[in-house]
Amino acid sequence: MLTLRPPLPQDEQPLRRLHAQLAAEDFELLLAEGDWAQILAQVAREASGTDLPPGRVRAEFLVAEVDGTPVGRVSIRYALTPFLLEVGGHVGYAVGPDHRRRGHATEILRQSVQRLADAGVDRVLVTCNDDNAASATVIERCGGVLEDVRERPGDGPAKRRYWISPRAAPGRAASR
């Protein structure tokens, strides 16, 4: 069973390994720099929404763990800045190469949408690169409806932008 949880002191080596693997794919697993204590402190500040730099919103950085092993991560953002509305969305997730094709990404996104719904977010924006068919499939499995594909001339690949209505998302608890 996959669980999402905050990073712990003992996660440094496994997460740095995952970070190195995903860096080869131009994806940053760790969104903070510094020694591990500094990274954990930044994660805690962002999760509580305190002392945020300009342009940042309250966001949880959570480790995706299966049977005691970190397999990926998710960033759940509880508001959208203009940049997040255009490019980043509410949820950014990744699964390490050794752990793919097992449904982990779908479960990470499903649980993330649930967390956002529980916090009162009624429409969840999730984006992916236009050429990332695997991520597009994950988003669609979780109820994502494609709004558009936005070109980003000179600023990276085009982005597919999907909206998920948590009440209509597959796997949503009926008792809400």
Cβ-contact 102, 125 below 8 angstroms: no
If pLDDT is split at 50, 70 and 90, which confidence band does 126 have? very high
Residue 69, by phi and psi: left (phi above 0), alpha (psi -120 to 50) or beta? Answer: beta
pLDDT at 168: 66
pLDDT at 174: 38
Q: What residue ranges in 78-135 does DSSP mark as E strands?
A: 91-95, 124-129
Q: Mean per-residue pLDDT for 28-38?
A: 83
Measured between alpha carbons, how far is 15 from 59 in angstroms, rounded to an integer? 18
Measured between alpha carbons, how far is 123 from 167 in angstroms, rounded to an integer? 9
- By C-alpha distance, which of 171, 168, 75 is closest to 127? 75
